[in-house]
Amino acid sequence: MVKWIVNEALDSSISIVDGAGDKEICFDIPLKVDQGLDVTEFSYFLLEKRDVLENDIRVARVKELESEKIVGWLIPITALESTEHSRADDPHFLKAASLALNLIMTNLAEESAEILGDKPYLRLNLSSHFGQDCVVFIYQPSAMGVLDTLNKLPPIFLANGYFLKDENRIGDVKYQVLAQESIGRDLYLNLPSSEITSYSLIAKIINNSFSIQESGLLKFFLLYQSIELLIDLVLESEYRIAATELADQNLAIKEIQSRLKRMTEASAQRKRINLLLGEYCKVDEGLSEDLRDSCESFLVEMGEECLANANAADLLYDVRNMIFHGYASLEESAVESKLETLVDSLLAVLGCLAISYGSSNRVQTFNL
């Protein structure tokens, strides 16, 4: 029987050994690990974040009414093999790390024959086995359900550059969030809106395709495809609301005309983006302002004039038109250099949209 043990004979290590004791994998782990912890209420899965720092350890929280509770930790794999980071003496971190290591080592023990191959002994680092960019998310499924699938992956992970580790991804993660001041900041988890039936596709686009791109143009294109999936929902909702109200036989002609006008307006993409950001979703004011500023800056740099009172939705649509319809007249190097900040802002807003989208948010009164 293969098992894992805290190796007392060798400082700062955990060993996986077989029943006969003639095969062993030794991992260098300087943290004190409590092998007796009850891990039955915990689970983990692996994420990737490009160039993640060992100090970028985050607490995952959820808000309940006026209180908060901790539901998990995001721990860089390098933080599990170091005592040099700021959390190394934090008893709460040490417990979370110990829980994670208990679960990881149990799984590695089951894979030990494959890891060893024909070798009787290996000494490894976790980071060499899983990769330097690996992040462990240790959490309680009882708090939020099982999260290790794309259709349940919290949008805040994707918005902060954490991608589900996937052996089938056709390239290495290249996207990196520009805002380094967010390192170590707590993350507040919210599940994607249940109304977004296409969320698993959106998450797949971001996790498997967007994450591996170096081109700012391709990253913008993939993010905008996700926006288009959301505005398709807006159009469907607008038609359903109008159809329901038009069924009222007591409507006056003017009221009928107003609803038909609203349906016609919703067929225009610019209008649907405005509805998405302005009515269907509750976008953080700071994120909306960042997106507006980055869109305006891009357009000005490309030689376009912007209306002083243009909002984020209008400017995003203008960027979309410039790139999709006028790219041939633009200088590629200039476009690429100016898109990075815009891509960062759009990804952050997309994470907010995926959480807050709801037809009930929409102002369901028509201007007569």
* Structural domain spans, the chain: 216-361
High-pLDDT (> 90) share of the chain, %: 51
In this prediction, residue 73 carries a pLDDT of 96
Burial degree of 104 (CB within 10 A; 0-12, 13-18, 19+): buried
Distance (Å, rounded) from C-alpha 251 to C-alpha 248?
6
Half-sphere exposure of 141 (CA within 13 A, CB side): 13
Burial degree of 148 (CB within 10 A; 0-12, 13-18, 19+): middle
Which pLDDT tens digit goes with each residue over 145-204?
878 788 888 999 999 999 999 877 788 899 988 655 566 788 988 889 999 999 999 999
Share the mean pLDDT of the chain: 87
Which pLDDT tens digit goes with each residue over 247-303?
777 778 888 887 788 888 888 999 999 999 999 998 999 999 999 999 999 999 888
Cα-based distances in Å from 206 to 49, 52, 127, 230: 13, 18, 24, 14
This prediction has a pTM of: 0.87
Mean pLDDT over residues 71-76, rounded? 95
High-pLDDT (> 70) share of the chain, %: 93
Which pLDDT tens digit goes with each residue over 80-99?
999 999 898 999 999 999 99
What are the structure tokens assigned to 149, written together?
Answer: 């699938």
In this prediction, residue 365 carries a pLDDT of 45
Which pLDDT tens digit goes with each residue over 305-321?
888 889 999 999 999 99
Residue 52 has pLDDT above 90, yes or no: yes
Residue 104 pLDDT grade (very low, low, confident, very high; cuts 50, 70, 90):
very high
Burial degree of 274 (CB within 10 A; 0-12, 13-18, 19+): buried
What's 277-326 look like in SS3?
A: HHHHCCCCHHHHHHHHHHHHHHHHHCCCCCCCCCCHHHHHHHHHHHHHHH
